[in-house]
Amino acid sequence: MINPLRGMKDLTFDESARFVHIVTTAIGIAKRYGYSYIETPILEETALFKRSVGESSDIVGKEMYQFEDKGSNDVCMRPEGTAGVVRAFISSKLDRQEMKHKFYYYGPMFRYERPQKGRLRAFHQFGCESFGEGSVYEDFSIISMISQIFEALGIGFELQINSLGCTTCMPPYKQNLVGFLTNIKEQLCEDCNRRINTNPIRVLDCKNESCQTLLKTSPKLIDNLCSECDNDFTKLTTLLDKEGIPYTINTNLVRGLDYYNKAAFEFVSNDIGSQSAIAGGGRYDRLVEFLDGKPTPAVGFAIGIERIMELVKMPQSTREGIYLGAMSEEAVETLFSLATTKRKETKVTLEYASKGFKSHMKGAEKAGARYCALVGEDELKNGTVWVKDLESKEESAVLREHF
């Protein structure tokens, strides 16, 4: 027997029903915010992720499904969706239009991580990317859209926000931070020491408790933002307060991908164990330019679908459609035209085997059908169909042409 690979799983029955419910709910809300669907390839040039997510990130450094294809191209299974959407935005020259573009997507992402509860190697994201809007109001709209999606799915969350500044305030802050970190270098873990030179702000979200104790007195970017970033951050928190979206400011929230600036955020759930981030995102105003497009401000997010799978409150299932069966051999083939007609408007479960009444009633229950429709010898003779509404329990004989 061949099983799925480690860290990968099939979604069937209850889980696939949950998956569909999550995606359709999110799509419905994203459309109301003006997003349209984009589909990009799962396989991309490795260079795309190196240049966007960043060579010093764990995702690119350790977790990529990277290989050489038969044409000797260095390719990679996408570890996230933003880079591909940005590439597509530039490939189709949308960066040259003076228009705003908003895209949503969902699909599998691949990261060669150590699997554990909530952490898979093949997982699914639902994400949105908004291009061309530099206003912090768009950051707020995105955060409120995610809150609305979680609310519609019945999921409680804690929102954490931070600002990662811009090219004016981040470089002097980084220098300041490197100075602080160099002084406590000996006491910091190996990973932090490596990051002091490659990506010092990543030291701030080290999971090691003793590092975190030492970092308590580190300089905070939030206290060193330039006036534009500071104003934007204040506008964002004021709006969140006004609109009643609770949040906490987490000055150590730096995100695991290098492309962010200004607002960065994470939605966290306290009900799913250590892998608690259920969505993450932020602004990435320099990425389009970085991938050779025309400078375009952008902001987006992605929700981890498997992470919220157990949390989502499913709508009560209601009876749906028609169960159609025959009670004599001759009647079986007369069912197809009835099924084709009815399938134009509703779900039809068509039973091929001729069976007795009780057995069909059981089948209709199992199918979750609203109606049980049967054709036996009498119905065949009279040109009728026997129909029972399984909710109201009403029974009737309906002429075939009126069925």
CB of 48 to ligand HAM, least distance (A): 13
Specify whether the CB–CB gap between 16 and 9 falls below 8 A.
no
- By beta-carbon proximity to ligand HAM, the closer residue of 100 and 362 is 100
Contacts of 46 (CB under 8 A, 6+ apart): 64, 66, 74, 75, 76
Q: Give Cβ neighbours of residue 375 (< 8 Å, ≥ 6 apart).
A: 325, 326, 327, 331, 334, 335, 338, 385, 386
Residue nearest ligand HAM (C-beta atom): 304
Compare residues 304 and 325 and give the one whose CB is closer to ligand HAM.
304
CA-closest candidate to residue 184, choices 145, 219, 141: 219
Q: Is 198 helix (H, G, I), strand (E, B) or coil?
A: helix
Q: Which is nearer to ligand HAM, 25 or 125 (CB)?
A: 125
- Residue 240 or 257: which CB sits closer to ligand HAM? 257
Site string for ligand HAM, 81-120 (x = CB under 6 A): xx----------------------------x-x-----xx
Binding characters for ligand HAM, 240-269, by CB under 6 A (x = yes): ----------------xx------------
Cα gap 386→51, rounded to integer Å: 66
Q: What's the closest the beta carbon of residue 345 comes to ligand HAM, in angstroms?
A: 38
CA distance 225 to 399: 76
Output the smallest distance, CB 326 to ligand HAM, in A. 47
C-beta of 130: minimal distance to ligand HAM in Å? 9
Site for ligand HAM in 285-304 (CB under 6 A): 300-302, 304
x/- letters, 57..86, toward ligand HAM (CB under 6 A): -----------------------xxx----
Near ligand HAM by CB under 6 A: residue from 279, 335, 348, 367: 279
Quote the DSSP letter at residue 95: G
Q: Which is nearer to ligand HAM, 298 or 338 (CB)?
A: 298
Q: Which is nearer to ligand HAM, 200 or 281 (CB)?
A: 281
The nearer residue to ligand HAM, 308 or 364, going by C-beta atoms, is 308
Across 43-100, the runs of DSSP E, i.e. the strands, are 43-45, 65-68, 74-77
Dihedral sign for Cα 140, 31, 37, 145, please: positive
Strand order across the 348-350 sheet: 348-350, 322-326, 371-375, 384-389, 395-399
CB of 78 to ligand HAM, least distance (A): 10
54 binds ligand HAM (CB under 6 A): no
- The letter for the amino acid at 122 is A
> Of the candidates 89, 90, 4, which has an alpha carbon nearest to the alpha carbon of residue 38?
89
How many Å apart are CA 375 and CA 137, to the nearest integer?
61
CB of 162 to ligand HAM, least distance (A): 13
Rg (CA), the chain: 27
Of the pair 200, 304, the CB lying nearest ligand HAM is at 304
Sheet with 74-77: list strands edge to edge: 43-45, 74-77, 65-68
Residue environment code for 92-113, b if the CB has 16+ CB neighbours within 10 A, otherwise e: eebbeeeeebbbbbbbebbbbb
Which of the residues 305 through 344 are near ligand HAM (CB under 6 A)? 306-307
In a 13 Å sphere around the CA of 394, the CA atoms on its Cβ side amount to: 4
Q: Site for ligand HAM (CB under 6 A): which residue of 281, 297, 363, 376?
A: 281
Window 119 to 178, contacts with ligand HAM (CB under 6 A): 119-120, 123, 125, 127, 129
Minimum distance from CB of 103 to ligand HAM (Å)? 10
Measured from the CB atom, the residue of 9 and 194 that comes closer to ligand HAM is: 9
Nearer to ligand HAM, 62 or 366 (CB): 62
Q: Which tokens sit at 12?
A: 């069937």
Which residues 6+ apart lie within 8 Å of 113 measured at CB?
Answer: 7, 63, 119, 120, 121
Residues in the interface with ligand HAM (CB under 6 A) total 26
Residues at the interface with ligand HAM (CB under 6 A): 80-82, 111, 113, 119-120, 123, 125, 127, 129, 256-257, 277-282, 284, 300-302, 304, 306-307
